[in-house]
Structure 1
Amino acid sequence: MNAFLYLNTVLIWGSTWIAIHWQAGDVPVLASVFYRFAIAGVVLLPLLYLLRRVQTTTRADHGFMLLQGVCLFSMNFVCFYIASHTIASGLLSVIFSAATLFNAMNSRFFWGERPSSEVFFAGILGVFGLCLMFWPELSHSGFDVSDLKGIGLGLLGTYLFSLGNMISLRHSKRGLKPLTSNGYAMIYGALFLAGLIWITGTPLIWDSSSRYVWSLLYLAMIGTVVGFTAYLSLVGRIGANKAAYATVMFPVVALSLSTVFEGYVWSLGSVVGLLLVLLGNGLILGVRLPSLGFLNNSA
């Protein structure tokens, strides 16, 4: 089962970055992210109630699910969507692979899990690798502020994602399954975004083009309902640090799609940079796939 969840996460989330790029256009970011999680939440939670799969929850659970909605199903993606306006989707997925480092740091802070010395060395490798990958864009544009803003927002969104992982671990430790917590958290995330839309006066513009509609449905149903359920199930089974190994493989899928659909051009620096990022993340989690429990916990 772990292998199935892992492969689903890699293939689904590795492909969502190009779909996020296709969401860019006339529709404001807040509106696009709201549509995504409103659709996902409205489909998932009633379906769970219909199938009687919703677990009993406490007021404290809902407080944490609200925080999960803010970190995992709203503000992190607001950061990613804005960043996608200036950064190729494949490169954004490389930034997202920093979730491995953030998870190691947050696991130490929230759960007392001491990171090994490899984590710090991996962090150096990852930063150096990212610099190599982004150097052509930054040097070509003369260190354009929009590029730096995109990188910063990508890192902020990744850190919020990591915080959401920590909340999901809290749910798992209390026997709350991802389907229930995700169903509520998606609704809370959508409501939080609705509040921001109302406060900021953001217009709810709609784009009827086939690219926008189909990419939105893919992100809502496949990327969110299926992808997050698979990933957070993996977090509950093997822990956030090991589950984050999936994010190491996202760039391979995402950059392949970015090359085809966005014309991303590879250079020697980008190839070396990607290898350093993958190596750094592999050091954090252990480079041997059996450490994920594929062999011992496959049932």
Structure 2
Amino acid sequence: MSNEDIVEPPRSTRLAILIPFFVVTLIWGSTWIVIRDQIGQVPPSWSVTYRFAVAGLVMLGWAIAKRQPLRLDVRGWRFAAVLGLMQFVLNFNFVYRAEFYVTSGLVAVVFALLLVPNAILGRLFLGQQLGRQLLVGSAIAMAGVALLFIHEARQDPSATGNVLTGVAITFAGVLSASVANVMQATKTSRAYPMVPMLGTAMLLGAGMNALWAFVTAGPPTVEWRLGYFAGIAYLGIFASALAFTLYFGVIRVIGPAKAAYSSVLVPVIAMLLSTLFEGYRWSALAAAGALLALAGLVVALRARRPNR
């Protein structure tokens, strides 16, 4: 048998990709409950500011410990500023505000649509081709997401206006996150060490959030409650510093389209956790949606030529 006859498994099925992929999915699946707990006394922009101030400091501390250079040239600062704006300012401000109008489960479901703009922008700006198997997996997964969406929307059919507003705000967050995702697969991103670049972007994002929060909501405020501070720590350290490092690393290997399948599984994880901690009750519709999402994920991740 010649070397040409040997078909290597797709990179997305390797443990070096699958392990961080599922770690990120588990972490981000848990964040919706934590974010929901943050909504209340503190304006969302200040909560986002605290989150990424913690995350950025952790990232730069990690970079120093790894002896990675912190200095950036003009191009690096410009890239970090745009990344911070799209990922750590617009995306998260939209998400936090969406939860004023709809349940955290519905926000998670809508965010699963990240797969669509990631695939489109990856094709337009990175030239990444979508193979037939990836498209089939996407169709199966999105059918599952549609069932989850219908289930969530039926929970409170009287609040149609709130649902539409929440969905629109969430989708704005999806588009912002998608731009940041595609940025991570560019040559510019690869030119800089990831940890100091992300740390800088997070701190720049925290600064922009703080300015916006001060202008729109007034001086900084905090909720003097252990759960609030624990939530900030969890969201800053695990859901931001750790998860974004792993997730953007996955994007650099398998591309933004496949990496976005994490967002397809996130609502399933969020609902499972809600079952344990919030008494969430599964319906046949929700169960079918979850199974379809999982099936689509398996089909898509096994696609062999997603980027050619």
What are the within-5 Å matches in structure 2 for residues 108-257 of structure 1?
Answer: 108-116=123-131, 129-139=144-154, 140-170=156-186, 174-257=190-273
Match of 1:101 in 2: 116
Match of 1:259 in 2: 275
Contact map agreement 1:90 1:255 (CA 8 A) in 2: yes
Which of 92, 103, 115 is residue 77 of structure 1 equivalent to? Answer: 92
**CA offsets, 1:137-171, max 9 Å, x none?**
54433352111111222222122111111111125
Query: Distance in 1 between the 2:280 and 2:170 partners?
Result: 18
Bigger mean CA offset, 92-101 vs 127-136: 127-136
Aligned with 2:185: secondary structure? helix
Please, what is the CA RMSD of the aligned residues? 2.8
Query: Distance in 1 between the 2:54 and 2:30 partners?
Result: 19
Match of 1:10 in 2: 25
Query: Distance in 2 between the 1:235 and 1:245 partners?
Result: 11
Contact map agreement 1:27 1:206 (CA 8 A) in 2: yes
Contact map agreement 2:141 2:264 (CA 8 A) in 1: no
Contact map agreement 1:75 1:160 (CA 8 A) in 2: yes
Bigger mean CA offset, 89-98 vs 42-51: 42-51
What are the within-5 Å matches in structure 2 for residues 53-68 of structure 1?
Answer: 53-54=68-69, 56-68=71-83
Q: Provide structure 1 residue ranges, at least 5 long, that are not aligned to the other structure.
A: 293-299
Counting aligned pairs with the same residue, the percent is 31
Q: Provide structure 2 residue ranges, at least 5 long, that are not aligned to the other structure.
A: 1-15
1:147 counterpart letter in structure 2 = V
1:182–1:166 distance in 2 versus 1, CA, 3 Å: same
Contact map agreement 1:122 1:280 (CA 8 A) in 2: yes
**CA offsets, 1:107-160, max 9 Å, x none?**
012112243566777666666544433335544333521111112222221221
Query: Distance in 2 between the 1:270 and 1:134 partners?
Result: 9
Bigger mean CA offset, 249-258 vs 85-94: 85-94
Query: Distance in 2 between the 1:148 and 1:282 partners?
Result: 31
1:265–1:151 distance in 2 versus 1, CA, 3 Å: farther
TM-score normalised per structure 2 = 0.83
Query: Distance in 1 between the 2:39 and 2:204 partners?
Result: 24
**CA offsets, 1:176-221, max 9 Å, x none?**
2321220110011111111212322434221121221111110001
Query: Distance in 2 between the 1:133 and 1:248 partners?
Result: 11
Query: Distance in 2 between the 1:12 and 1:127 partners?
Result: 22
Q: Give the greater-gyration-radius structure (CA).
A: 2
Deviation at 1:249, TM superposition (A): 2.4
Query: Distance in 1 between the 2:191 and 2:298 partners?
Result: 29
